[in-house]
Structures are given as C-alpha cells and as structure tokens.
Structure 1
Amino acid sequence: MTKTVDPKFETVMIIDDNSVDLYITSRMISKNNFGKHLLLFTSGEEALKYLLEHQHNTSLLPQVIFVDIYMPLMSGFEFLDAFDKLDDTLKNHIKTYVISSTIDNADIIRSSRNENVSAFHVKPITKEFLDQII
C-alpha cells in the first residue's frame, strides 16, 4: 500500500515577475511536496493586496513567501518594506525568503539584515533548500 505524504506547508506564495522563474519555482515546490496550494504573483503590489485582503483569515494566508528582488514597479525590497508595516500576527504567521539571481554582496547583506527575511537563496531553488525550511 502506498502512503500519501501531506505537503510540508498548506500554502506557499511566490512573487516573481519572470514567468520562467515563476514556473520553475512552482514546479520545484509541487514536485517536492513542499506546498499544497500555490499563490503565484508577478508583482509585489498584487501579492501585498492579497495579503491585506486576507489578513484576518489565516487559512487563506501563505506560511511561506518566496520573493524575487528585482521586479519593476515594486522591487522585492520595497515589498519587504511594505510587508514590515503589516500586523505582527500576520508577519508571525509567514516566513519570507528572498530568491534572486543576483550575486551582488550588497543585496545578500541587505536581505540578511531584514528581520522579516528568513534566508536568501540564489535561483533556482533546490530540493536541498526546500528541505532546510521548517
């Protein structure tokens, strides 16, 4: 008999303006049974709007957010600044991870200094990276 394993997280949000990266990240999450439901956004504004609309219903909120740094209109860092202004209950429910193709040390340091960022990872995400997330 085959045993079905529940996904690690109920809901995972991915914010990335690059459709190829969005697809690759979502496939890695699905393939590795990391998230049951995926919320895919191509802009930080759309993602922030979703969080604000559902902030009082934790069953609709993600437990994990993967956000890219370099996006038009609202960068990942601007998203994180706006995220920081959200209610503490919401912020405590969600772990955020910066995923980026940058190798710029300034970006990596800036990410690591943000109290809302659990970790920085260079794209693409890997099974090993997902396995480290608790």
Structure 2
Amino acid sequence: MERIWVVDDDPAAAYLNQLVIEEAKLADQVVHRANGKEALRGLLDDQAKGRPWPELILLDLNMPVMDGFAFLQEIRQGNSGLGALMDRIVVLTSSGNARDLEKAHQLGVHWYVLKPLTREGLASVLLSLTQGVESFPASQQAGHQTGARG
C-alpha cells in the first residue's frame, strides 16, 4: 500500500500504530490526522488537488473536534464524493461497547478492530480487504478483525 492514514487524537496511540504498520512494511507512508475534521479536510484537499486518497484509514471513534461517528456520517452523506472511501475505513478503537459497534455498522463500516493494533490483526484485515471479504462481529478479541457480517 502506498498510504495509510491513522486518525486518532492520542499521539502515543497513533505512533504505536505507525510502528506496527512500518514494522510490517505495509505502507510506504503513514499519515497521522488528529481528529475527524482534520482527516476530512485532508481528504477534500487531496481530492481538490487530484491526489489519490489513502488506501486505508484507521479511524478512532472517541476524539475531540469531530469524532469518528461524525466523520463517518460526513463521508457517507456528504456531497463530496467521498462515499467511495467507506470500503477503506477500519474502525480502530478501545471501545468494545456493543452500541458503538452497532452504530459503526449502521454507518457502513465493514471492519471494527479493538486496540491495541497488532501486526497479525492488521495483516489479517488487509488480507481480507484485498480479497473483498467483509467482516463485522458481535464480539472480538483485541487486535483481531471482526467475524463475518450478515
């Protein structure tokens, strides 16, 4: 992959995720965005300048300014043409709350991964993404991708 974005307000978590991605040699570039608003602005800027979007976006849910849910709503419902990105978004969060999981699913998320991100968990998600497999669990273990979606 050329670019992976990590959208997370916690610089330490973003850095650890970057290390996992770099150690696994899964992207040429890892870009950190501190919240949904910053990520949305970056995507619109890329679009305006004709730059390609990131191949993968790892999105935290609980962030200030614009949280992950608001970001997902903007992507899905905005008139910006960003809806095509939904298949590239993986929710990466510390929230194992069933309501958060269901809300993310309703917003069109196919992947919900609990922190901490592991090399194996990320590799499994990427493999499934490249094979077109959708996943969404009722439950999962930290760092592992979700189960099959119905």
Distance 2:103 2:5 in 1: 21
Q: Percent identity?
A: 25
Measure how far apart 1:58 and its partner are.
Answer: 4.1
Kindly indicate whether residue 16 of structure 2 is the aligned counterpart of residue 24 of structure 1.
yes
Contact 1:48 1:79 (8 Å CA) reproduced: yes
Partner of 2:81: 87
Contact 1:10 1:37 (8 Å CA) reproduced: yes
Runs of 4+ in 1 over 3 A off after TM superposition: none
- For 1:113, the aligned partner's letter is Q
Partner of 1:112: 105
Partner of 2:33: 41
Cα deviations by residue, 1:75-117 (Å, 9 ceiling, x for unpaired): 10001111112305x62586001011011110011112222x2
Q: Which runs of 5+ in 1 are unaligned?
A: 1-8
Distance 1:79 1:11 in 2: 19
Higher strand content, 1 or 2: 1
- For 2:90, the aligned partner's letter is Y
Partner-residue secondary structure (3-state), 2:31: strand
- Kindly indicate whether structure 1 or structure 2 has the higher relative contact order, using CA contacts under 8 Å at least 6 residues apart: 1
Taking a change above 3 Å as real, the CA distance of residues 92 and 17 of structure 1, as seen in their structure-2 partners, is: closer
Measure how far apart 1:35 and its partner are.
Answer: 1.1
Distance 2:95 2:67 in 1: 13
Distance 1:44 1:102 in 2: 17
Taking a change above 3 Å as real, the CA distance of residues 75 and 93 of structure 1, as seen in their structure-2 partners, is: closer
Partner of 2:2: 10
RMSD: 1.8
Kindly indicate whether residue 122 of structure 2 is the aligned counterpart of residue 130 of structure 1.
yes
Partner-residue secondary structure (3-state), 1:29: helix
Partner of 2:57: 65
Q: Which residue of 90, 94, 99 maps to 1:101?
A: 94
Aligned residues: 123
Distance 1:119 1:52 in 2: 23
Q: Which runs of 5+ in 2 are unaligned?
A: 131-150
Partner of 1:78: 70
